[in-house]
Chains A and B, each alone.
Chain A
């Protein structure tokens, strides 16, 4: 069993292989075979992850990282990154979530995409995505991490624009790629700074060397941390680079579940957790992380509340929930952030898959106001969706979301970097979360039936829902608060790889008081939703919005802002100079030469008298010059 962990590389290789086989095999492959390969490769990876994980944990109480080098990528002037994988508590958690949630979503997709003509292409991209995501979280150096980082970005682009015939989808796909690349621009420069200072891009080596080289609060540490943060903001759709994620919902629902909620968008959280030492050396940068998280969770929460497209609600919800993770990272609650990442992956994937079924069975209907009464028609979907929404709303005691979010809320106040303001923001966000989550539930599943489902989900679609809903509840019990049993399996495990959170305020009573508050807030949110949306007859149309609601609906008009400030000027500038003003200069030279040619050839007119005059004038001029100069 111990040698099992040496198969780490295979976990990454399998999805890539699946993608390659599907590509090479081409059209000859039957649909069933495509599904088999696509789902099979990721499922095998998941099983392998389990075995490697057990093998890694066995007889390794200290959580010593396991590094597996496959080959040396390059070796140029001191830059010698390997293609090497680094397994520790953080990466194990991430690969566990990626492969397990990933294989459930692949299984679901088998039926969801069955009738689509691009079935094989879909699985090619999905497998490719899983491969790149695993590379990202297992990379032992920043360059390989960057490879995975860009790789998932590519797959995100391809899958958002999966239904490529619709130009709007293509636009959303490009927007996602370009906006995240703006973040990557900062991150790339961050890599240059890291290499210049440490002469390596090996993450472990950098983290060990950094505290010795950079004093806490030094300018260079701040710059580096902020540059990396730039990359994280783009990938994780945090303010001000969040605008791409709501549009990314143009992709098929399983894509939104896997890429745009459970895994890829949390890559920023992973990056900050992975390079936590750099952020601890730059308290200002770390505080920025917390503040951005707090603002984002509020901004996105309010936007989610004013959407009518069920997937856009979930998209803003994802932005908001990642805001919580950033808040946690910013106050040094490292393991709480990772914990919330995992639980969020479970319930958000569940919600997206549920929403996918709703949309799929109602023939691509996205507007919640045109749905309703689906409770009886899609019972499994309803119950699992309800569990997902409860977990998202952090319904006290029974849902996993409560335990993960409560930990963040508590630490946002109690940690040595916490503050009452951060806690208040988180609390307000919690209210909004419960409100929009149950608004969604009531509008979709309760009330009168407005549209009959045209198709019903089979087992391959419902099994993933059931598994995920179990995880959305049970997942919370591996980490219990200090005043409730104090069972800390998860943080014990993570804190082998990440520092322990320093807590200032303490005492079970204080903690209990905070828990009660956040629990009440969640219930209040659900109650409010009940008052406004339960059993209300809404017209089956887009709702009327006042100016404020419209503002929130448009995501606080960030798109308008960027369009006016950046996109339009760039396009304008590009278009007025399409033919390249510099070329005019050369063409001008050419015209000038032609003009001279014309003038001079005009003198060659065959009239002898004119020639003689010219000759005489020329001679006089020449003689004058010779004689007088």
Chain B
């Protein structure tokens, strides 16, 4: 009930904020703040009280309620370590988004917060759904309000960006929906039970080719979301044009729904197909790392530069997921949280700068350290986080991913490690162009206010804490990660065992008198030979 309550709370507050916006601009902000704070408190409460439950790898809590029984659709939520972390990140970044928009958004404030809270509700739904139909539903819920956030409160080129965002995600989402339906039908045919229940669909028997096709539908939706090259080009536009809160949520949370989808759905539902797909995915990951870094280096628009950093960082994630081992996968989880925080912080800095000097053009900045040292110092922290500086969360993530992947694929990992050098080049460019060097224009600009310092210090503490005490995150995610790894590894072992078994029986059959063998044995034999 608590889980459903979380979503109802966010949606309810969203509607309230919209209504309140008719009278007052401050009231919607307070309502949002209140709603998300409650969510954060609930998450912290679950974290503190139910950690034992997560150790066993079971769901910490679930909630089931029938929705459309005729089609086997139910409202089924479940939370384990992985989703707990993601929900915590959602609430945390959600709270910061409200705070950063406090002064930035003054137009249609009520409707803004309605959309903001609905995006968060959708994201929460994605991280909690254990019913594929419900999952798809939540996936759509987070998409449409995001479209509005970009198209109404965005920057100069917002219409183009919001269309692009919508088409990319909607198009790939439809493919996923087809895959969900396919899975639903196959499972129904096999067992006679037509259901969208995730746990029942696990282990559905199907032809390898079918499995691969269905998997591709899911994978496409997810890697478009995590902006893997060559499906990344919606991201720089959307991130650049969105208002600050939008960028924070896009980079910090929406990208992570793709990662979450791969881990929660693709690997466990299609273990064999995933193994087939792994080499392609890893190559795409490496290409994203380097191509993203290269594009980031060339940008002159600060927000666009940061956006491409995300492309590069998500490449590490793709590489890590398809390494299929615990270390890399733990790194992936860490990267989700750490990237959410570090890139969120960079977007807040870029947004603050934009708000004050009305430009994102790096050519017009420079030498700002003298005027806004606090912003400079905080920028430095998160620039360092982006280039994988040890002691900050991103380093732990990237090291675990690369070290884990190295055991799976050495050549690709070596190329991926070049990404660390590339990261240095683009990241230091931010510091140079914004804060160091000669002043290009004499800006009158205020440093961070107390509210903004509060936001940033919270983020600094989070990123340092994750860098020095990553166990706090890693122990929570470990049971879920192990479960996923097991599900992939198991199938691999099973198939191998099955093959082995088939071979030995075949050999036995052949050593027996060949003539007396029934025909179908010969068939299998000839198939094998072919």
Contacts and interface: CB of A to CB of B under 8 A. Distances in A.
Interface in B410-437: 413-414, 417-418, 420-421, 424-425, 428-429, 432, 435-437
B188 interface: no
B438 to A, nearest CB: 6
Contact of B400 (A79, A177, A185, A196): A79
B99 to A, nearest CB: 22
Contacts of A184: 420-421
Contacts of A578: 295, 298-300
A195 B403 contact: yes
A77 B417 contact: no
Contacts of A76: 326-327, 330-331, 400, 474
Contacts of A582: 229-230, 232-233
B372 to A, nearest CB: 13
Contacts of A150: 389-390
A4 interface: no
Contact of B413 (A147, A164, A192): A192
Contact of B432 (A154, A170, A182): A170
A580 B232 CA distance: 10
A583 B403 contact: no
Interface in B362-399: 367, 369-370, 373, 377, 380, 384, 389-391, 396, 399
Contacts of A143: 390, 399
A143 B428 CA distance: 23
A127 to B, nearest CB: 15
Interface in B268-316: 294-295, 297-300
B390 A151 contact: yes
Contacts of B474: 74-76
B230 A157 contact: no
B294 A75 contact: no
Contacts of B236: 580
A585 B232 CA distance: 12
A74 to B, nearest CB: 5
A578 B295 CA distance: 6
B436 A170 contact: yes
Nearest to B377: A23
A335 B389 CA distance: 32
Given A74-B396, A147-B391, A582-B229, A574 B406 contact: no
By secondary structure, the A interface counts as helix
Contacts of B33: none
Interface in A121-135: 121
A21 to B, nearest CB: 15
A622 interface: no
A164 B297 contact: no
B53 interface: no
Interface in B464-487: 468-471, 474
A372 to B, nearest CB: 34
Contacts of B206: none
B295 A75 contact: no
Contacts of B432: 167, 170, 174
A178 interface: yes
A79 B233 contact: no
Nearest to B478: A76
A196 B407 CA distance: 7
Contact of A191 (B232, B403, B437, B470): B403
A165 interface: yes
A77 B404 CA distance: 9
Interface string A177-217: 11001101100110111011000000000000000000000
Contact of A580 (B233, B330, B437): B233
Contact of A73 (B164, B295, B325, B468): B468
Given A161-B436, A578-B298, A580-B233, A177 B403 contact: no
Contact of A147 (B232, B390, B418, B438): B390
Interface centre among A178, A573, A574 (most CB of B within 10 A): A574
A23 B381 CA distance: 13
A128 B397 CA distance: 24
Given A196-B406, A586-B233, A185 B369 contact: no
Interface in A39-94: 71-79, 83
A3 interface: no
B428 A177 contact: yes
A164 B369 contact: yes
B402 interface: yes
Contact of B406 (A73, A77, A174, A192): A192
Interface string A349-393: 000000000000000000000000000000000000000000000
A624 interface: no
B522 to A, nearest CB: 43
Contacts of B300: 578
Contacts of A77: 325-327, 330, 404
Nearest to A193: B406
B298 A574 contact: yes
B417 A185 contact: yes
Interface in A565-612: 573-575, 577-578, 580, 582-583, 585-586
Contact of A167 (B331, B413, B425, B437): B437
A146 interface: yes
Given A167-B437, A191-B403, A178 B295 contact: no
A161 B436 CA distance: 9
A585 B233 CA distance: 10
A23 B390 CA distance: 20
* B164, B402, B436, most chain A CB atoms within 10 A: B436
Contact of B414 (A74, A170, A189): A189
A4 to B, nearest CB: 26
Contacts of B367: 164-165
Contacts of A193: 406
Contacts of B421: 178, 181-182, 184-185
Contacts of B326: 76-77
Contacts of B298: 574-575, 577-578
A188 B417 contact: yes
Given A74-B396, A178-B421, A182-B421, A157 B294 contact: no
Interface in B319-364: 325-327, 330-331
B424 to A, nearest CB: 5
A218 to B, nearest CB: 17
B321 to A, nearest CB: 15
B105 to A, nearest CB: 29
Contact of A79 (B390, B403, B420): B403
A528 B507 CA distance: 87
B236, B390, B421 pick with most chain A CB within 10 angstroms? B390
Nearest to B433: A170
A158 B404 CA distance: 32
A582 B326 CA distance: 34
B437 A583 contact: no
Contacts of B402: 188, 192
Contacts of B396: 74
Contacts of B297: 574
Interface of A: 23, 71-79, 83, 121, 143, 146-147, 150-151, 154, 157-158, 161, 164-165, 167, 170, 173-174, 177-178, 181-182, 184-185, 188-189, 191-193, 195-196, 573-575, 577-578, 580, 582-583, 585-586
Interface of B: 164, 229-230, 232-233, 236, 294-295, 297-300, 325-327, 330-331, 367, 369-370, 373, 377, 380, 384, 389-391, 396, 399-400, 402-404, 406-407, 413-414, 417-418, 420-421, 424-425, 428-429, 432, 435-438, 468-471, 474
Given A192-B406, A582-B230, A586-B164, 12 more contacts: A74-B396, A75-B474, A77-B326, A77-B327, A143-B390, A165-B436, A165-B438, A178-B428, A181-B420, A184-B420, A578-B299, A582-B229
9 contacts: A76-B400, A76-B474, A79-B400, A150-B389, A157-B428, A164-B436, A177-B424, A178-B424, A178-B428
Q: Which 3 A-B pairs have the closest CB atoms?
A: A147-B390, A164-B436, A192-B406
